[in-house]
A and B are shown apart, each in its own frame.
Chain A
Amino acid sequence: MDSYAVAAVDESIWIQRAKAGDQEAFEAIFQLYERQIYGFIYRMMGNAEDANDLTQDCFIRAYRALPQTTDDLNISAWLHRIASNACLDVLRRRQRIRWLPWESHKHEHLLHGKPLDEPESNALRNETQMTVQQVISQMSPRNRMALILREYEGMSCEEIGQIMGLSRSAVKSVLFRGREEFRRIYRAVEDDSEA
């Protein structure tokens, strides 16, 4: 796609134009959110293949449905909601038989959020990340989704509620259970690795 410099300040204009069928505007929105939605789906599904397919699916659905949305559309929440449902559709079809493993080896170089001084820190962080990915892949989709939206995407409980169709207090409850689940699985994984 061509490059469009989309200032956040212009987003509402782009949305309105895209709703009116302006293809450039849709491309601009796509460029603005492609990486974020792809990252979200990747974290939900744990592999690049699903992330590719579902990101494409998400934006096609969005393109078709955009003209029918209301003027006060929260585009970020809306796209995440489409992406969430796309992920859950796939997971449901797979009947929760298995979860594809995270492709940690493919983005090992991205595991480090900040520079570290020491090799031992690197090693420790690497090891931790491997474990974290393993744990996430075993969590229930619902709890996983809430945690990803909160901790990765940095969304508030209210925003998560918009995406998941929950009240704020319900989101707090899901986040609590998600953290507990993560903690429980994390310990089990650690125990397994020590055994």
Chain B
Amino acid sequence: MTRGECDAIRPLISAALDGELDEDEFVRLSEHLASCRECRQVHQDYFQLRDDLKSSEPPAPPPSLASSIRRETVEKPLPPAIIRFASRTGMKFGFSAMAASVVALIVIALVIAYGYDQRTPPSVAGSEPSQSAVMDWPISRPIEIQFNKQMNRDSVEENLSIRPSNEEDRLPLGWSGNTLRIGASDDRNVLLRPNTDYRITIHPDAEDRHGNPLGDYWVLSFRTGTEVAVSTPSPDRETPVEDSLEQGQEDDDSWFSSQDDTGDADEERDDQTQEPDPDGSRSPDETEEPATTEQPEQQEEPTATPSPQEGTGETNDGENVQQPEPTPTPEAPAPTATPTPEPEPEPTATPEPSPEPTASPSPEPIPVRGAFGEVYWGEETVQEALGRPTQEAIAFIGAEQEFQRGHMFLMYDQRQGRNAILVFVNEGTVQERDNTFDPDEHDFPSSEHEEGLYIPGDHFGKLWSESENIQDAIGFAVSPQPSSNIDAGRQQFENGYMIFSRGIVYVVYGDDSWDVFPVRSGSSGGFQGDDSDAIVSDDDEQSPPSDEEQSSSPDESDEQDEAAESADDEGDDVAAPESDGAEDSQTSDEN
């Protein structure tokens, strides 16, 4: 690796930590890091710097500070600027100009204050179904994702992925305030697919209307129920649900119109309904009765076991849509001009799909989050090779030491009593050995073999000294001592595992080969991530969020770069022309 190559790659290492790499740069960086020990070390150093800085909190301001500031601000007469402002705006009232300006601005504020601040990042406030593992979600209920503030709808929809992937085109999207609805738009509702594992992902680049990005992946996984939760179709609607799904959803609209919160949809459905819900107690699904069949009042949502009901030949689980019609039923008339019944009362906020199916509960999904999630969900090849996670990520105390042709990695997990050394060989294999070094019994001092090359000591030294194979494979150490890492992590998968250390994820496959991936975002929360970026694997179809598009367009002028360079040499000023930033660029023109 030439010095020039490394010099060119190092800014990319820095940019990677700031989430400022595009795909090409990321690939370039990954390839370089896989083969360049020095730059890998630089990456780790940068990452370590981040961890070190973040782990320190400044002290809280003293209580006296607030009172002293108050004395110098609000307890002093209002600054002349406000009066100037009032006079400039030409306000001539019977009371003081200052008071007038206050009133006027408050009025303006109430008009223009549309609710959400520009600084607070957006987040998902809730969803239906919720993020806890949901089974048998009714296929007639659209998915609802509620944000904490108004979002840039186009941005959210652009950064939305739905698995199975063909559902993205099939399911309409609609908005109601801050809530995104999937499967229901203003003009139509569409059934979800039965017996299907869905994964809804909103990517970090989804923005609120101020341009603040979501920042983390938000993922919702759930499984739909068996069948459509309506009682019976009209005679000309004997198409099995699956078929109707394949054919498109126009025909389904009437089935769901009662769920549509628009008045038009209600009217459309009501045309086919003989009896309005007398007390509004029925669930939305139950209200979708056919027009011509008198139906015993349904007490329950569908269950997994059909139970034919007398006189109707129907079941209450939707299976009837595939049954022959046992009861003569008049031909469904075309919609007539029947007066629209009273609009049905609003269904209860979240009708529960009750009773719960009797199936055994699914196992708790195992999340893959943080740095591990970034690699696992971002690299399909990794995902396929590793299979599903078999346990949550664990933290351990680690130590690393670079060698001529590889590096050694100590994993010490006190809680699980695991004490092992991984030997990564640059050729692409890894060996895991027990760490048998005991400081009370063994003495393996590090020593310099020749200039710049060392015989490792202690933990690594014992293993290295006792194994000629390892010596041949990785050569001598290139530093006298290993570097410690108290925030390393490991997660086990069906066919391998991941190791996280100082900004790098090592993926070790079942055949003992390995890959290295620099963490792009700096992964707030390290390998652990936090709950907000947890992505769980709870099904066979592990659909990842695709790689987020990292904007890297150099949208600013080179002149500014040069200015930054020169200013940096001078040392100590931000680009503000005045020392008092208060009158900077955000001051209005008229001032």
Q: Which residues of A contact B (CB under 8 A)?
A: 1, 8-13, 15-17, 19-23, 26-27, 30-31, 34-35, 38-39, 42-43, 48, 51-52, 55-56, 59-65, 67-76, 78, 81-86, 88-89, 91-92, 96, 106-107, 110-114, 116-118, 121, 124-125, 128-129, 132-133, 136, 140-143, 145, 147-148, 150-152, 154, 156-157, 161, 163-177, 179-180, 182-183, 186
Judge whether A170 and B556 touch: CB under 8 Å: yes
User: Which residues of chain B from 41 to 95 have any CB-CB distance to chain A below 8 Å in the complex?
Assistant: 42, 45-46, 49-50, 52-62, 65-70, 72-74, 78-79, 81-82, 85
CA distance A81 to B588 in the complex (A): 16
Whether A145 contacts B574 in the complex (CB less than 8 A), given A11-B120, A23-B74, A65-B81, comes out as yes
Residues in chain B near residue A167, CB distance under 8 A: 555-557, 560-561, 564
CA distance A19 to B582 in the complex (A): 13
Whether A55 contacts B65 in the complex (CB less than 8 A), given A81-B581, A142-B574, A164-B574, comes out as yes
User: What distance in Å separates the Cβ of B2 from its nearest Cβ neighbour in chain A?
Assistant: 19
Whether A169 contacts B105 in the complex (CB less than 8 A), given A65-B587, A74-B118, comes out as no
Of the residues B18, B72, B109, contact of A172 by C-beta under 8 Å: B18
CA distance A195 to B415 in the complex (A): 36
With A23-B74, A141-B573 already in contact, 7 other A-B pairs whose C-beta atoms are closer than 8 Å: A12-B114, A13-B113, A83-B581, A85-B578, A145-B574, A168-B554, A172-B11
Whether A21 contacts B98 in the complex (CB less than 8 A), given A9-B116, A167-B560, comes out as yes
Judge whether A175 and B581 touch: CB under 8 Å: no
Judge whether B113 and A166 touch: CB under 8 Å: no
**Closest A-chain residue to B108, C-beta based?**
A16
**Closest A-chain residue to B99, C-beta based?**
A21
The 6 closest A-B pairs by CB, nearest first: A167-B556, A165-B575, A20-B105, A16-B109, A65-B582, A11-B117
Judge whether A124 and B486 touch: CB under 8 Å: yes
CA distance A165 to B560 in the complex (A): 9
Residues in chain A near residue B11, CB distance under 8 A: 172-173, 176
User: B360 contacts the other chain (Cβ, under 8 Å)?
Assistant: no
Cβ contacts B498-511/A at 8 Å (1 or 0 each): 00000000000000
Contact residue range for chain B? 35 or more
Whether A176 contacts B560 in the complex (CB less than 8 A), given A43-B58, A63-B73, A164-B574, comes out as no
Judge whether A56 and B568 touch: CB under 8 Å: no
Whether A140 contacts B571 in the complex (CB less than 8 A), given A59-B73, A82-B581, A151-B49, comes out as yes
- Name 12 interchain pairs, CB-CB below 8 A, sorted by A: A12-B113, A27-B74, A35-B60, A38-B61, A59-B73, A72-B118, A78-B584, A81-B581, A82-B581, A84-B576, A113-B57, A161-B556
Whether A39 contacts B58 in the complex (CB less than 8 A), given A16-B112, A151-B50, A164-B575, comes out as yes
CA distance A84 to B578 in the complex (A): 11
Whether A21 contacts B78 in the complex (CB less than 8 A), given A78-B586, A85-B580, comes out as yes
**Closest B-chain residue to A41, C-beta based?**
B58
Residues in chain B near residue A61, CB distance under 8 A: 580-582
User: What distance in Å separates the Cβ of A141 from its nearest Cβ neighbour in chain B?
Assistant: 4
Residues in chain A near residue B56, CB distance under 8 A: 110-111, 113, 129, 132-133
CA distance A171 to B62 in the complex (A): 32
Whether A55 contacts B61 in the complex (CB less than 8 A), given A9-B117, A82-B581, comes out as yes
Judge whether A1 and B70 touch: CB under 8 Å: yes
Residues in chain B near residue A113, CB distance under 8 A: 54-57
Residue of B65, B104, B554 with most chain A CB atoms under a 10 A cut-off: B65
**Closest A-chain residue to B50, C-beta based?**
A151
CA distance A93 to B493 in the complex (A): 58
Residues in chain B near residue A121, CB distance under 8 A: 397, 486
User: B27 contacts the other chain (Cβ, under 8 Å)?
Assistant: no
Cβ contacts B26-45/A at 8 Å (1 or 0 each): 00000000000000001001
**Closest A-chain residue to B211, C-beta based?**
A158
User: What distance in Å separates the Cβ of B567 from its nearest Cβ neighbour in chain A?
Assistant: 7
User: B3 contacts the other chain (Cβ, under 8 Å)?
Assistant: no
Residues in chain A near residue B571, CB distance under 8 A: 96, 140-142
Judge whether A124 and B576 touch: CB under 8 Å: no
User: B484 contacts the other chain (Cβ, under 8 Å)?
Assistant: yes
Whether A68 contacts B591 in the complex (CB less than 8 A), given A84-B574, A172-B18, comes out as yes
User: B20 contacts the other chain (Cβ, under 8 Å)?
Assistant: yes
Residues in chain B near residue A96, CB distance under 8 A: 571-572
Whether A170 contacts B117 in the complex (CB less than 8 A), given A16-B109, A27-B70, A74-B586, comes out as no
**Closest B-chain residue to A60, C-beta based?**
B72
Residues in chain B near residue A38, CB distance under 8 A: 58, 60-61, 65
Residues in chain B near residue A118, CB distance under 8 A: 397, 414
Whether A106 contacts B14 in the complex (CB less than 8 A), given A55-B65, A68-B81, A125-B486, comes out as no
Judge whether A165 and B576 touch: CB under 8 Å: yes
CA distance A76 to B414 in the complex (A): 43
User: B15 contacts the other chain (Cβ, under 8 Å)?
Assistant: yes
Residue of B17, B46, B49, B397 with most chain A CB atoms under a 10 A cut-off: B49
Of the residues A19, A63, A143, contact of B74 by C-beta under 8 Å: A63
User: B579 contacts the other chain (Cβ, under 8 Å)?
Assistant: yes
CA distance A28 to B481 in the complex (A): 52
**Closest B-chain residue to A74, C-beta based?**
B118
